[in-house]
Chains A and B, each alone.
Chain A
Amino acid sequence: MLIAVILALALGTYAFRLAGVVLRDRLVLPDEVSRLLPMAAATLLAALAATAALTEAGAFAGVARPVGVLVGAVLAWRRAPFVVVVVAAAGTAALLRLLGVP
């Protein structure tokens, strides 16, 4: 099952990439579509980030994780490097758990 998921994703992604290169003379995407695709991508990622930050198996994910993510989000907004964002988020959550926060 897992291998099928990976192959489907890999082949589909490659098809999108190659199709644009090959079809460039014959295909003109409507402006609306070119505008919507990046927005749809951003929306999916935002939804994944929000649900992964706040929920666990359909219920609230506790305190340590959301606070850690918040610290990372603020750093990211202030244009901190990616490593700093990720390490600060993980470090905050780990520290809170060490202190007994769920």
Chain B
Amino acid sequence: MLRDAAAIALACGVVGASFGAVALAAGLPIPAIVAMSTLVFAGGSQFMAVGLIAAGSPLAAVFAGLLLNARHLPFGLALGDTLGQRWRDRLLGSHLMTDESTAFALAQPDPAGRRRVFWLTGIPIFLAWNIGTVLGVLLATRVGDPTRLGVDAAFPAGLLALLLPSLRSAETRRVALVGAAVALVATPLLPAGLPVLLALAGLGVLLLPRPRREPAC
């Protein structure tokens, strides 16, 4: 268990470092980058926000980021008894809630195990994410022009890597692919930020009649 926690924290540190580098390349001031990792502490929405802020649409950044993080509400419902009744634990634990710490905790069979594993993964992930962000910023300030190093290609590739586990569900994959196509077609036509939000139209796929044979994965 400790080995798993260390491995996941290390992985989060690396993603955090790439966030720091990407955010700096996008032109965000360093204090803003560090504040984002500490205060928001939700990787996907941070990448999303940086992308949309850089594109010049801060409102879309907030809206898309919050929509992305709305999934923490059901996480909290599921974790309720794991965090217990003490307000200190609830207030602190809520901030440590991530896809990873939630998944690890809920994989435990008994409440005591869930509680222990939640903190055991949540705290290291928080530390690694923030240390990673600072290291990423420091590294990026040393290398000069980020485009020459291909940072612009690293950003979407990293997003895809984060996204792939959820795309292994056929239904999610169909919705996401249609949404991405809608966003691409809309990009030359609409102001920055809107195409990504318009991708939610992809959820309309769910209203279509289901294909007769669902693929196995």
List chain A residues, Cβ under 8 A from B91: 18
List chain B residues, Cβ under 8 A from A94: 148-150
Chain B: minimal CB distance from A94 (Å): 4
User: Which of B107-115, B192-200, B209-217 makes up part of the contact surface?
Assistant: B192-200
Task: Kindly state whether residue B144 has any CB partner on chain A within 8 Å.
Answer: no
User: Could you say which interface size class chain A belongs to?
Assistant: 35 or more
List chain B residues, Cβ under 8 A from A21: 76-77, 79-80, 83, 90, 93-94
Task: Kindly state whether residue A100 has any CB partner on chain B within 8 Å.
Answer: no
Main secondary structure of the interface of B (DSSP, over half): helix
Contact A85 B156 (CB under 8 A): no
Contact A12 B203 (CB under 8 A): no
**Please, how many angstroms separate the alpha-carbon atoms of A9 and B81 in the complex?**
26
Task: Kindly state whether residue B208 has any CB partner on chain A within 8 Å.
Answer: no
Contact B48 A45 (CB under 8 A): yes
List chain B residues, Cβ under 8 A from A48: 47-48, 51, 64, 156, 159, 183, 196
Given A6-B39, A21-B90: A29 and B73 interface contact (C-beta under 8 Å): yes
List chain A residues, Cβ under 8 A from B192: 58
Given A39-B175, A42-B163: A47 and B182 interface contact (C-beta under 8 Å): yes
Interface size on B, residues (CB 8 A): 91
List chain A residues, Cβ under 8 A from B94: 14, 17-18, 21
Chain B: minimal CB distance from A6 (Å): 5
**Please, how many angstroms separate the alpha-carbon atoms of A19 and B74 in the complex?**
9
Task: Kindly state whether residue B125 has any CB partner on chain A within 8 Å.
Answer: no
Contact of B196 among A1, A33, A47, A71 (CB under 8 A): A47
Chain A: minimal CB distance from B147 (Å): 8
Contact B76 A19 (CB under 8 A): yes
Given A45-B44, A51-B195: A89 and B150 interface contact (C-beta under 8 Å): yes
Interface residues of B in 121-166 (CB under 8 A from A): 147-164, 166
Contact of B180 among A41, A46, A83 (CB under 8 A): A46
Contact A72 B152 (CB under 8 A): no
Contact B183 A50 (CB under 8 A): yes
Contact B76 A41 (CB under 8 A): no
Residue pairs across A and B with Cβ atoms less than 8 A apart, 21 shown, are: A9-B45, A16-B73, A17-B94, A18-B90, A19-B76, A21-B76, A24-B77, A39-B206, A43-B176, A43-B179, A43-B202, A43-B203, A48-B159, A51-B180, A67-B153, A72-B158, A81-B11, A82-B11, A86-B154, A89-B150, A89-B153
Q: List the 5 closest A-B pairs by CB distance, nearest first.
A: A20-B76, A72-B157, A68-B153, A24-B80, A93-B150
A residues at B contact (CB < 8 Å): 1-10, 12-14, 16-25, 27, 29, 33-34, 36-55, 58-59, 61, 64-69, 71-73, 76-77, 81-83, 85-95, 97
